[in-house]
Amino acid sequence: QMTQSPPSLSASEGDRVTITCRTSQSIGTKLNWYQQKAGEAPKALIFGASSLHSGVPSRFSGSGSGTDFTLTISSLQPEDFATYYCQQTYFDISFGPGTRVDV
């Protein structure tokens, strides 16, 4: 089981945003983060809990291991308003329920 908190949040441009993902069992660092905008496919942001996917801005960062993980956006930009999903690849593959970031 995967949970994300908060389910949604309101933020402003320039804010620091933190999203948490928790798993019911330890998954090491087999945790990825994706960003999805309305009508689009998800896009990779972070893999292996803390590694930045190619081309992703450095304002995105990930941390954590075991059961608790965090995605941080250091300074929210207009293009970052989206829904964010975590994904674990330790026990088959599954996604978290998502965190919507809006204005």
Classify the C-alpha dihedral 76-68-29-84 as positive or negative.
negative
Nearest approach in angstroms of CB 36 to other proteins is 8
Nearest approach in angstroms of CB 93 to other proteins is 4
The burial of 40, by beta-carbon neighbours within 10 Å (0-12 exposed, 13-18 middle, 19 or more buried), is given as exposed
Report how far Cα 31 is from the mean position of its chain's Cα atoms. 9
Confirm if 4 and 96 have CB atoms less than 8 A apart.
Answer: yes
Q: Interface with other proteins includes 96 (CB under 8 A)?
A: yes
Among 15, 53, 66, 67, binds other proteins (CB under 8 A): 53
Among 44, 52, 59, 63, binds other proteins (CB under 8 A): 44
Tokens of residue 51, six digits: 């590694």
Q: Interface with other proteins includes 23 (CB under 8 A)?
A: no
Q: Summarize as ranges the residues that interact with other proteins (CB under 8 A).
A: 28-30, 32, 34, 40-44, 47-49, 51, 53-54, 85, 87, 89-90, 92-98
